[in-house]
Amino acid sequence: MSRGPKAGYVRALPPAVHPHVDIRGKLNTGASPQAQRKREHVQGCSECQRQASRQVADQFRLAAWIEGAKVYDGLRCSKCSGTRRRVRDGSCYGCHLKDSPLDPARRTRVPRHNRDGWLGRLDARRKEAAGDVWVFEVGDWRARVYPTGRLAVDCDRLNIHSVDWGKVPPARIFEIAGSEPDLIEVMRQAGWSV
Ligand SMILES: [Zn+2]
Ligand SMILES: [Zn+2]
């Protein structure tokens, strides 16, 4: 395959110019192409960086977001005195885990959408049998969400291959998720309230 335009080829489209990004204090750390485009634009746009630094109070958080991080070292938490925070909203990472169902002490799995209400259990099973599955990736984590709500996760790096993540002992999930923000994002996107 040759690089660049072929001889005689006239480039008809203007070069893509991404619009300036309005942060408004929200820093999306998701893996969607849209979120990545936003971040890449701000990375290379001093005007957007100036705007964002006025809208985001914690400059360490903003810097971490621009670098593509999901967690950063910020102000000490008054509750747990940890300093690890989520880039997404600046909240304390440790407290977040403690308050979440990932805490083995108080884990109850609450799907964000009540699928049973509008699809019906039977319909969900039928769709799953028909191979209906939603596939997505966060970092090097791959996820499949089935209509019944079953979440399957794979991470080659950690040699984790689970066909039903909901059946993994909560203590084990907690242990892994503690150092894997991408896994937490996977569960969040799958509808777990983490
Ligand atoms: Zn810009
Ligand atoms: Zn805390």
Residue 21 Cα, ligand 1 centroid: separation in angstroms?
A: 6
Measure the CA–CA gap between 108 and 111, rounded to whole angstroms.
10
Domain count of the chain? 2
Q: Among all ligands shown, which has an atom nearest to the Cα of 41?
A: 1
Residue 50 Cα, ligand 1 centroid: separation in angstroms?
A: 9
- Compute mean pLDDT per 10 residues along the chain, 194 residues long, and list them: 55 61 82 86 90 88 90 91 91 81 52 50 71 85 86 94 91 90 91 80
Residue 11 Cα, ligand 1 centroid: separation in angstroms?
A: 25
CB atoms within 10 A of CB 95: 16
- Is 138 a member of any domain? yes
Host domain of residue 21: 17-94
3-state helix, strand, coil in the chain (%, to 5): 40, 15, 50
Measure the CA–CA gap between 38 and 36, rounded to whole angstroms.
5
Q: What are the strands, taking DSSP E only, across 28-140?
A: 71-73, 84-86, 134-138
Q: Among all ligands shown, which has an atom nearest to the Cα of 45?
A: 1
Q: What is the pLDDT of residue 187?
A: 92
Residue 42 Cα, ligand 1 centroid: separation in angstroms?
A: 6
Q: Among all ligands shown, which has an atom nearest to the Cα of 51?
A: 1
The secondary element (H helix, E strand) that includes residue 135 is strand 134-138
Please, what is the Cα angle at 56 between 51 and 58, to 5 degrees?
135
Q: Which of 94, 120, 152 is the last residue of a domain?
A: 94
- Is 112 a member of any domain? yes
Residue 86 Cα, ligand 2 centroid: separation in angstroms?
A: 11
Question: In the structure encoding, which two tokens stand for residue 142, read together?
Answer: 């791959």
Measure the CA–CA gap between 36 and 30, rounded to whole angstroms.
8
DSSP 19: P
- Based on the domain organization, do 77 and 134 belong to the same domain? no
